[in-house]
Amino acid sequence: MSCENEQQLISSLLDRRIAGPERENALAHIASCQTCETAYESMQKMRLSLGKLNAAPVPAELRASLRDLAASERLRMISRATQKTRTSRWSDTVHLWFENLMRPMALPFAGGVLSALFLFAAWVPSMAAPRISGDVPTPIMTAPSLDRFQFTPTDKGGNAVVTLLIDPRGKVMDCQVTGGELSPELINMILFYQYTPAKVLGHDTWGTLVFRMNEINVKG
């Protein structure tokens, strides 16, 4: 062991910070080394002298002022504790009063809220616009038309064009051949068909239907 770290070892030895073999080695070194022994002893004496500084008598004035300070601080603590207790008691009272006030109202309030929710849920669907399935849009005016299923194609009509006047009941009231030539069979067929009358704002009315053999043209 060298004397390089003697001061640290001596300091640790004095403070009992090393133990076991390390302590034994350090003590053995100190016993064998004159420099370290002197340093150890002087450090020990210095430490003892420092320890004697521990008993500095407290001046009487300081003792008295500390007693006064303690007394005043004690009173302050008590008054603070009292104030704190008073505040906490007042807070408890308010809390209890509020709870007592709310407790009888809790059930009716909850019932009211639930009823309101239920009624609202029941009422909301009725507010929606009714959806009618298969609704046909109603234009302001519609022309008369012929039900296609009644029409049986024939090759006897050629390319004749017939203008028909349809009454509100869907019957042909007048017939005028405007082009081509019609056979009597075809004229009978046209006359006895059931037509859909023209409509104005949903009401049946008179209308004109242009009838061709190969197609049907509707005019106003």
Partner 1 sequence: MATSILDLSAERMAETSADTEDLRLVEGLRAGADSSYEELLARFQQPVYTLALRLLNDPSEAADVVQEVFLKVFRNIGHFRGQSTLKTWVYRITVNEAHNARRWFFRHRGREVELDHEPDESRNWKESLPDKSRSPYDLAVDRERHAMIETALARINPIFREAVVLRDVADLSYEEIADVLSISLGTVKSRILRGREALRDELAGSLKKRPALRLVPKTARVNL
Residue that the structure tokens 């070194």 belong to: 29
Q: Does 8 bind partner 1 (CB under 8 A)?
A: yes
219 scored as a contact of partner 1 (CB under 8 A): no
Binding test (CB under 8 A) with partner 1, winner from 21, 34, 53, 153: 53
User: Per CB under 8 A, does 89 bind partner 1?
Assistant: no
Between residue 95 and residue 134, which ones bind partner 1 under the rule CB under 8 A?
A: none
* Token duo for residue 103: 């407790």
DSSP 8-state secondary structure symbol assigned to residue 130: P
Q: Which of 3, 64, 69, 191 binds partner 1 (CB under 8 A)?
A: 69
Query: CA–CA separation, 125 vs 53, rounded Å?
Result: 93
Position among 3, 17, 150, 188 found at the interface with partner 1 (CB under 8 A): 17
Among positions 4, 21, 34, 54, the unique one binding partner 1 when judged by CB under 8 A: 54
Residues 6+ apart with CB under 8 A from 94: none
Q: Does 154 sit near partner 1 (CB under 8 A)?
A: no
User: Is 83 among the residues that bind partner 1 (CB under 8 A)?
Assistant: no
């109202």: which residue's tokens? 105
Instruction: Calculate the alpha carbon distances from 183 to 148, 156, 214, 215 in Å.
Output: 20, 7, 15, 17
Binding of partner 1 by 23 (CB under 8 A): no
Q: Name the segment binding partner 1 (CB under 8 A); options: 42-50, 103-111, 112-120, 211-219.
A: 42-50
Could you tell me the smallest distance in angstroms from the CB atom of residue 9 to partner 1?
10
Residue 171 burial (CB count, 10 A): 14
CB nearer to partner 1: pick between 31 and 81: 81
Quote the CA–CA distance of 93 and 113 in Å, as a whole number.
Answer: 29
* Spatial distance between the Cα atoms of 173 and 167, rounded to a whole number of angstroms: 6
Q: Is 43 in the site for partner 1 (CB under 8 A)?
A: yes
